[in-house]
A = this chain, B = another copy of it.
Amino acid sequence: MGRGSFYAAYGSKRELFQRVLGHYQADSAALLRQIESKHRGLAALDEFVRRTFLEASAQRLRRGCLLVNSVVELEGVHPDLHDESTRHLRQLDRTCLRWLKEAERRAELRPGLTASTLTPLITSLLFGLRVDARSGESREALAARWETFLSLFAETNVKGGQP
């Protein structure tokens, strides 16, 4: 793409990046909606992780998550873009909370655990897995971590429960 057409189309590199962020976020939201239409509770969460981490190509996996990378890289340098990225991430957070509340209602959580305490922990772990991905960890290793994690808080009768 020529320089001229680029700036005619997008105005500046910054604007392009913001557009990309928007697209990424829109795609993620679409995925969440699609999953939500087919699964509920912990099954939805598990499906999301499977789709996000385990079905990605090795190359795509190594690229990590655009939003997480942005949060890490833009802090201090581009505060507005950094904030925009974290805002987008929090949206994923809200969906996760919704799923967990459903799971709570369905008694898929081990006794004593609540959706509101578990949700931030889950999103933190997902951040961690995305860093792992970028550090070159294999799909299998990531999957194992996720299954272990799931087994820690899921009732034994649901998928991923502890034997």
What residues of chain A have their CB less than 8 Å away from a CB belonging to chain B?
A: 62-64, 68-69, 71-73, 75-76, 86, 89, 112, 117-118, 120-121, 123-132, 134-136, 141, 144-145, 148-149, 152-153, 162-163
Contact = CB atoms under 8 A, between A and B. Distances in A.
B134 A131 contact: no
Q: Sort A-B residue pairs by CB-CB distance and give the 10 closest, nearest first.
A: A128-B128, A127-B128, A124-B128, A152-B152, A127-B131, A72-B72, A86-B135, A121-B145, A71-B135, A121-B148
Copies in the complex: 2
A128 B75 CA distance: 16
Nearest to A72: B72
A73 to B, nearest CB: 5
Contacts of A132: 124, 127
A128 B68 CA distance: 10
Given A120-B141, A120-B148, A152-B153, 19 more contacts: A62-B75, A62-B76, A64-B72, A69-B73, A71-B131, A72-B131, A73-B73, A75-B135, A86-B135, A89-B135, A112-B162, A118-B148, A120-B144, A121-B125, A121-B145, A121-B149, A127-B127, A127-B132, A128-B128
Kindly name the residue among A76, A131, A132, A162 whose own CB sees the greatest number of chain B CB atoms within 10 A.
A131
Contact of A128 (B118, B126, B135, B152): B126
